[in-house]
Structure formats: structure tokens, C-alpha cells
């Protein structure tokens, strides 16, 4: 057993990150100022998008994207149940109805065929989630969207730096949302980003994040003087601060290094666990490179004398900070109490019963990785049939 607890995720901050924040603290701007624009430009270039909008957090990014997409009462939006609740809640915030499509049992991502089965005359958008950082099958999803005139909002909270068939996640669909929570690839403390190639969507996103208010004279219906501004929509105060943006800019410079280390750790896990009879290791699609936000194993219940919970609890006792991502969204009490009692996604539920998230973050030392591998193998052997 390890002497100290190893969490499943953790930020990596250096002195240059600290100094970037201090520089802003000593400047004239603390909230939305010039560093926001710098961060947006740099991030858009990184993912290959025309526009980027910095925002308060990943959930706010999803909410803003649904607003920009025009989601409203009577609209249905198809997404996966294996995600954080925000991927579906954002639809409810706008008055729409989330519709859950099952995952592919190999990739753990939303299955395009299951999306197709759920498209109706009410469907307005699709929110594919690049779960664990592995890109969804965007060619098939894009084809469905074009055929049915649907908007695609990629939830890439796990996928900074991931690429799909040579294209970076963030420059492919109508909009893509990102999260900069401390356990993600780069952090701004709390924060998020939305990328798009559409100028119209970009302007709607800007409006929404700042109370629905504009000072752009070319967009205003009137002009009473140099002080004048207009509220043109019911927006929110979802602005990011320059303090956060400065940290984000500093972190973005290290994103490729962080990503390379995540991939090294994932490869070490896969080599160690591929032949373990009690485990299923993550499958990776050809032509894609995962962002490896999470490394998810599945325990083979047919090879064990216990359930997933016992394996989980024994790993915690070994000081290995495992987690589970995620409870199928429709299983939460709120959804069960609001019309989702009859929803069943067989692959998602089976995955949830067997899934365990192992620690994975760039600051892990090789010894940390070996501690995880040793503990997992030890616990499995102890509970094998």
C-alpha cells in the first residue's frame, strides 16, 4: 500500500503560472480585459477554429452553446447518458428536452446508430461527448446532422488536444465546448471555452455571456450617445476574469507537454493490463488520438468473486484514488422524477456497473503509475475466482 493518497486527477502549476497571474493582479484590469482576447485567440489557433469565447466554466459553455443554437421549448437534443449531468442539463436550461442515446460498448462514446434511431421531427441538435478524451465518430454524426438539418455541439471537456482523422477537436462542428476545471488538461481554476467557425454563432455567444448586452454600434437598434448600450437577449453573467485568462494562457503553452505525458501514462497502463484476465482496457479507434483525460478500466465480473464496489473500496484502502465516471444521467433522482423512469440504455448501464477510473494526470511520477498497476493487480488477484 502507498504511504500517501494518490488522487485520480490534479492540476500542475509552475512558477510561470503564478507570475502570469501576479502580472494581471498588478495591472489595471482584473475582470474581462485584454488578456481574455489574447487567451481566446491563442486557444482558437490551438484547436484550428476561427473564433473562441472564454466563459465562466464548462457548464456555462454548454448553456451558451444551446442558447446560440436556438434550443427552446419543444426542441429535443440527443446526447449520451455516460457523461457529467451538465451535458444534458444545458438543454433543460433552455427549455428543451434531452434524449439519451446509448454508447458503443467498445469506445464508451455515443453510438451514431443509436442517435439515428432517436431523431424525430422535434430534434434540433446533437451533443456528442468525447468521453475520456477519445473523439466520437464525427463523420457519421456530421452526416446525420446534415441529413436532418441538426446543429452539432461537441462536448470536449475531456478532449483538449485530441484529434479526429487529422483535425483537432474544436474546429470540426458548429460549436465545441471545453472545460478548464483543475482536473482537466489545462486549468484556469474554473473556466471554459466555446469554439466555432461561424461568425453569427460567435456573436450570439458573446452576447449571452454578458447579460445579453452589447455596446457594438453596428448591432444596436439605437444610439443615444457614447454611453449607450442595449440588452438584446436574456443573457447571463458568464464572463471569465483576466486573472483566469492569464493562467489559461500560461497553461496553454504547456498543453502539448501535458498531453504527451498523459499518453505515456495511458500506454504504461495498457501494456500492464492488456493480459489481465479480470480487466477490459480502453479501446482506441483508428485514426484518432485521445486526449486521455481519463483512463477507464472495466472489471470482468465473470472472472471475479465480488462486485465492482468491493474492488473500488479495496483500491481506496491501497491509497489509490479511483473514481467512477459516470452514473448514467437519466438514473439521477431529478431525471427519474421528471419523466425518464422508462429510459434504458443497456450498454451504458452495463458499463457503469463495471467501470473504474484510475489516476491519470501529468504530474504523476513513474513510481505513482507503478503503484497503481501493482495495487490493481493485487486487488484483482485477491478477488479472483
For residue 315, the domain's CATH number is: 3.90.1150.10
Per-residue model confidence (pLDDT) at position 228 = 86
Percent of the chain with pLDDT over 90: 94
**pLDDT surpassing 80 at residue 385:** no
Picking from 231, 252, 273, the residue at the C-terminal end of a domain is 252
pLDDT tens-digit readout, 239-276: 999 999 999 999 999 999 999 999 999 999 999 999 99
Same domain assignment for residues 247 and 324? no
| pLDDT, mean over the chain | 97
Picking from 236, 252, 268, the residue at the C-terminal end of a domain is 252
| 58 within 8 A of 189, measured Cβ to Cβ | no
Task: Grade residue 15 by pLDDT with cuts at 50, 70 and 90.
Answer: very high
* CATH assignment of the domain containing 247: 3.40.640.10
Same domain assignment for residues 143 and 85? yes
Same domain assignment for residues 204 and 276? no
Q: Mean pLDDT check: name the lowest of 21-25, 263-267, 303-307.
A: 303-307
Q: What is the pTM of this model?
A: 0.97
Per-residue model confidence (pLDDT) at position 172 = 97
Q: How much is the average pLDDT of 81-89?
A: 98
Per-residue model confidence (pLDDT) at position 111 = 98
Same domain assignment for residues 59 and 105? yes
In the block, residue with C-alpha cell 475531456: 158
**pLDDT surpassing 80 at residue 100:** yes
Please tell me whether residue 51 adopts helix, strand or coil conformation. Answer: strand
Same domain assignment for residues 248 and 262? no
Percent of the chain with pLDDT over 70: 100
The DSSP output letter for 225 is: S
Task: Grade residue 366 by pLDDT with cuts at 50, 70 and 90.
Answer: very high
Q: How much is the average pLDDT of 40-60?
A: 98
Q: How many structural domains compose the chain?
A: 2
Same domain assignment for residues 68 and 177? yes
Catalytic residue from among 140, 184, 217, 310 = 184
Same domain assignment for residues 216 and 343? no
Same domain assignment for residues 223 and 328? no
Is residue 2 a part of any domain in this protein? no
Question: Could you give the angle at the alpha carbon of 265 between the alpha carbons of 48 and 253, nearest 5°?
Answer: 35
Per-residue model confidence (pLDDT) at position 166 = 95
Picking from 252, 274, 309, the residue at the C-terminal end of a domain is 252
**Which residues on adjacent β-strands are paired with residue 195?**
52, 176
Containing structural domain, residue 221: 15-252
184 counts as catalytic: yes
Q: How much is the average pLDDT of 173-201?
A: 98
Q: Residue 302, class by beta-carbon neighbours within 10 Å (0-12 exposed, 13-18 middle, 19+ buried)?
A: exposed
Amino acid at each position: 500500500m502507498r504511504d500517501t493518497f494518490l488522487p485520480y486527477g490534479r492540476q500542475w502549476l509552475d512558477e510561470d503560472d503564478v507570475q502570469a497571474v501576479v502580472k494581471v493582479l498588478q495591472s489595471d484590469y482584473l475582470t474581462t480585459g485584454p488578456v481574455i482576447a489574447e487567451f481566446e485567440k491563442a486557444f482558437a489557433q490551438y484547436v484550428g477554429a476561427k473564433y473562441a469565447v472564454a466563459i465562466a466554466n464548462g457548464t456555462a459553455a454548454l448553456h451558451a452553446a444551446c442558447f446560440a443554437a436556438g434550443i427552446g421549448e419543444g426542441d429535443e437534443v440527443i446526447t449520451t447518458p455516460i457523461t457529467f449531468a451538465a451535458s444534458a442539463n444545458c438543454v433543460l436550461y433552455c427549455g428543451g428536452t434531452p434524449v439519451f442515446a446509448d454508447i458503443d460498448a467498445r469506445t464508451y462514446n455515443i453510438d451514431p446508430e443509436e442517435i439515428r434511431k432517436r431523431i424525430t421531427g422535434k430534434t434540433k441538435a446533437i451533443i456528442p461527448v468525447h468521453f475520456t478524451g477519445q473523439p466520437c465518430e464525427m463523420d457519421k454524426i456530421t452526416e446525420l446532422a446534415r441529413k436532418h438539418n441538426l446543429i452539432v455541439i461537441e462536448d470536449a471537456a475531456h478532449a483538449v488536444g485530441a484529434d479526429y482523422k487529422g483535425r483537432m477537436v474544436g474546429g470540426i462542428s458548429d460549436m465545441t465546448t471545453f472545460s478548464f476545471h483543475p482536473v482537466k488538461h489545462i486549468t484556469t481554476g474554473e473556466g471554459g471555452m466555446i469554439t466555432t467557425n461561424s461568425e453569427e454563432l460567435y456573436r450570439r455567444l458573446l452576447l449571452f455571456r454578458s447579460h445579453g448586452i452589447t455596446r457594438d454600434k453596428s448591432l444596436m437598434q439605437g444610439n443615444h450617445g457614447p454611453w449607450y448600450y442595449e440588452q438584446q437577449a436574456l443573457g447571463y453573467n458568464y464572463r471569465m476574469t483576466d486573472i483566469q485568462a492569464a493562467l489559461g494562457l500560461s497553461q496553454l503553452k504547456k498543453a502539448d507537454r501535458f498531453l504527451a505525458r498523459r499518453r505515456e501514462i495511458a500506454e504504461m497502463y495498457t501494456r500492464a493490463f492488456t493480459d489481465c484476465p479480470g480487466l477490459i482496457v480502453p479501446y482506441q479507434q483508428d485514426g484518432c488520438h485521445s486526449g486521455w483525460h481519463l483512463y477507464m478500466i472495466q472489471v470482468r465480473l465473470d472472472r471475479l468473486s465480488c462486485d465492482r464496489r468491493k474492488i473500488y473500496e479495496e483500491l481506496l484502502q491501497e491509497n489509490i484514488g479511483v473514481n467512477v465516471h459516470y452514473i448514467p444521467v437519466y438514473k439521477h433522482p431529478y431525471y427519474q422524477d421528471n419523466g425518464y423512469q422508462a429510459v434504458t440504455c443497456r450498454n451504458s448501464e452495463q458499463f457503469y456497473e463495471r467501470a473504474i477510473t484510475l489516476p491519470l494526470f501529468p504530474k504523476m511520477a513513474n513510481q505513482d503509475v507503478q503503484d497503481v498497476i501493482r495495487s490493481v493487480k493485487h486487488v484483482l488477484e485477491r478477488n479472483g475466482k
